[in-house]
Chains A and B, each alone.
Chain A
Amino acid sequence: MMLEIKDLRAKIGEKEIIKGLNLNLEKGKVHAIMGPNGAGKSTLSKTIVGHYEVEVTGGDILFKGESIVDMEPEERALKGIFMSFQNPVEVPGVTNAYFLRTAVNAKREYEGKEPLNAAEFLRMAREYAKLLGMKPEMLNRSLNVGFSGGEKKRNEILQMLMLDPDLIILDEIDSGLDIDALKAVSEGINKIKSPEKTFLIITHYSRILEYVKPDYIHILKDGKVVKTGGYELVKKLEAEGYKAIEEEQ
């Protein structure tokens, strides 16, 4: 098992948002989470990566069998957990390339590998950027500063490719993307899909799921997983909405 979430409870401020959630993410599988706005999907991802706003009040999260709830965010990241941000923050003056290389080499060091030199790094970054339809100049710009919505999302995927994580959480990576961007992002995802990796794709739309075929669909509502099924759940949702699934319970 890649990730086991057991009876998880978490709050932001005084408000409990994750309310006894159970979820298992299998190694080598693509899991999708769908659910109405405000259900707690983003909060769940934030809890997994150790976001400072979220306080875990009960339950546990095991990553490859090890509890991570008390770990610093960077430690979780180094162990192989990646989350794409819904709204990546701007960092003026820090070039995308410098940031990426620092992150990649932090991970390599953690794994006891030699750091990538500038040439190796650039070759790799340019290749992936090309795959994602990003201009090479994007690497020299300040991190996320003045990036369009689509550019930010592609850049998140670029980071994913470079860091080569094991558990990949994509929070609304498809929101606001035009069809070309969506295809590029999906291509990036499919590029590193492997029996060793697990995806958790949070989305409102079936569009992306047509490109990245999920093995499981989970419906999240009011801080809990209320239904788990196969790809057919998406069709059902599209036809009948969350309401129907709720009533079915």
Chain B
Amino acid sequence: MNEEQKKIQEVVSREYELGFSVDIEEETAPPGLNEDIIRFLSKKKGEPEWMTNMRIQAFHIWQKMEEPRWAHLKYDVIDYQSISYYAAPKKKPKSLDEVDPEILRAYEKLGIPLEEQKALAGVAVDAVFDSVSIGTTFKEKLKEMGIIFCSISEAIKEYPELIQKYMFSVVPMSDNFFAALNSAVFTDGTFVYVPKGVRCPLELSTYFRINAQNTGQFERTLIIADEGSYVSYNEGCSAPMRDENQLHAAVVELIALKDAEIKYSTIQNWYPGDEEGRGGIYNFVTKRGVCAGENSKISWTQVETGSAITWKYPSCVLKGDNSVGEFYSVAITTKAQQADTGTKMIHIGKNTSSTIISKGISAMRGQNSYRGLVKIQASAQNARNYSECDSLLIGDKCGAHTFPYLESKNASAQIEHEATTSKISDEQLFYLRQRGINEEDAVSMIVHGFCKEVLANLPMEFAAEAKDLLNLTLEGSVG
């Protein structure tokens, strides 16, 4: 076997490994959602009263809202009262040595050994296992530079001024049904603050993993890049095989102040369910960044391969003059997966510009929708947007749909939109096979070629992982 094949073999044999679950004692709240549960959760986490009150407020907002149904998705009604809203490993370890070896093994199986990650050049890992952070590395080093990289629970206790100032400032609790739910019950997540003029020297990474059965996951992430700072943050996830659908409703808020830049990369690999979509994760995510100051920049890059259902529109609010928003996305749907994903670029400041590159790949019975909004407000003199939405179909039972929306209130705006749909042709496959490349490698080669512009935007370590994941996801989708 050559390197390439070994790698494929490795990835292939990982498919079922990802579908394991680890035995650890959980302390789980009884299923259901009401004020008492929220108080229990908040108390468990030792939160100050103001936070508890925020949660209760969000809960009341959520109760009055209706679940949105406008996305191009089909799924059964979710019973929010059957979900358990809190699960945590019993004892909270102080260092990695104290982490349950079962958990460490789980990470190793997922190909993300914490021990090695520490040594890996430039990667600091904040691992979230279920709902509570269990290990944070490089924290001390970052601290010296004034960078805060910790769990959101810790930040609520340690940095209340920052939390009170910025949490809910980008995604208000009333923003949408899932954001309101998250605001009421979020369990943990990551907090990053990069002070003025500091360039974060490491790629910050978090790996999420759903473990407790029937437990909703409600991560909350808040990243603040102060004036003239830079940070690159990587989020990746993978989930075990399950029979029941699991709800995941995360909220991510990014704030880039004057001259600051945030690069946010995601590899999303939640369990997609079986051929019929049974047991897959429902992933309803609200991700939004605001370019608050002039010359600021926010760049979203995502590789979406997992989940039974994905509902996700990482967006940029371009408030500061000359600010820049970018969205690079690869979304794959195969088996019975459904994805409705895209972005919103809201131009408010002068000379703001945005770029959208979306690559949708559909195989087997997968349904892939791109939904994008480009909004140019009257104040956004000389705004520019370039959008490119390409779809690639593998086979003839899948679908690709594009819903681009454009609202422009300023005549000086320059907007360009391009969209293509193509199929992997038999002739392309045959050409590569005639040169001795087997069918699976040929498909993977064509697919990687198709998503190249997006993959090129991922940080190095992440790009290799994304490639493996694409291959794994498309396993057996041809022929």
A positions within 8 Å CB-CB of B: 49, 51-52, 72-74, 77-78, 82-83, 85, 88-89, 91-94, 98-99, 102-103, 105-110, 115, 142, 159, 163
Contact = CB atoms under 8 A, between A and B. Distances in A.
Interface stretch (B73-81, B135-143, B156-164, B423-431): B423-431
B441 interface: yes
A72 to B, nearest CB: 7
A102 B438 CA distance: 10
A106 B437 CA distance: 6
B152 to A, nearest CB: 38
Interface in B438-458: 438-439, 441, 445-446, 448-453
The 6 A-B pairs of least Cβ separation, nearest first, read A93-B449, A94-B449, A77-B436, A103-B435, A93-B452, A109-B2
B431 A77 contact: no
A128 B427 CA distance: 26
Given A74-B436, A105-B4, A91 B426 contact: no
Contacts of B436: 74, 77-78, 103, 106-107, 110, 163
10 contacts: A74-B438, A82-B434, A83-B434, A89-B425, A91-B446, A91-B449, A93-B451, A93-B452, A106-B438, A163-B436
A80 B40 CA distance: 70
Interface string B406-426: 000000000000000000011
Nearest to B449: A93
A88 B431 contact: yes
A99 B5 contact: no
Nearest to B451: A93
Interface of B: 1-5, 425-428, 430-439, 441, 445-446, 448-453
A98 B448 CA distance: 11
Nearest to A143: B449
A115 B2 contact: yes
Contact of B434 (A77, A91, A92, A115): A77
B2 to A, nearest CB: 4
A117 to B, nearest CB: 10
A73 B435 CA distance: 9
Nearest to A108: B2
Secondary structure type dominating chain B contacts = helix
A148 B471 CA distance: 32
Contacts, number: 81
Given A52-B426, A52-B430, A109-B5, A92 B437 contact: no
Given A74-B437, A89-B431, A102-B437, 7 more contacts: A74-B438, A82-B435, A91-B446, A93-B449, A93-B453, A94-B448, A109-B2
A110 B5 CA distance: 12
A197 B437 CA distance: 22
Contact of B428 (A83, A91, A105, A159): A91
Nearest to B442: A74
B450 A49 contact: no
Nearest to A53: B426
Nearest to B420: A92
Contacts of A74: 433-434, 436-439
Nearest to B426: A52
A94 B451 CA distance: 10
Nearest to A78: B436
B448 A93 contact: yes
Contacts of B433: 72-74, 77
Contact of B431 (A91, A93, A108, A109): A91
Nearest to A85: B431
B449 to A, nearest CB: 3
A52 B452 CA distance: 28
Contacts of B5: 109
A115 B433 CA distance: 18
Contact of A99 (B430, B432, B438): B432
A93 B455 CA distance: 11
B413 to A, nearest CB: 29
A102 B441 contact: yes
Contacts of A91: 428, 431-432, 445-446, 449
A175 to B, nearest CB: 18
A85 B433 CA distance: 13
A102 B430 contact: no
A164 B389 CA distance: 40
Of B427, B436, B449, chain A has the most CB atoms within 10 Å of the CB of B436
Contacts of A83: 434
A138 B329 CA distance: 28
A218 B82 CA distance: 77
B450 A92 contact: yes
A73 to B, nearest CB: 4
Contacts of B432: 91, 99, 103
A77 B435 contact: yes
Nearest to B431: A89
Given A73-B433, A77-B434, A115-B2, A102 B445 contact: yes
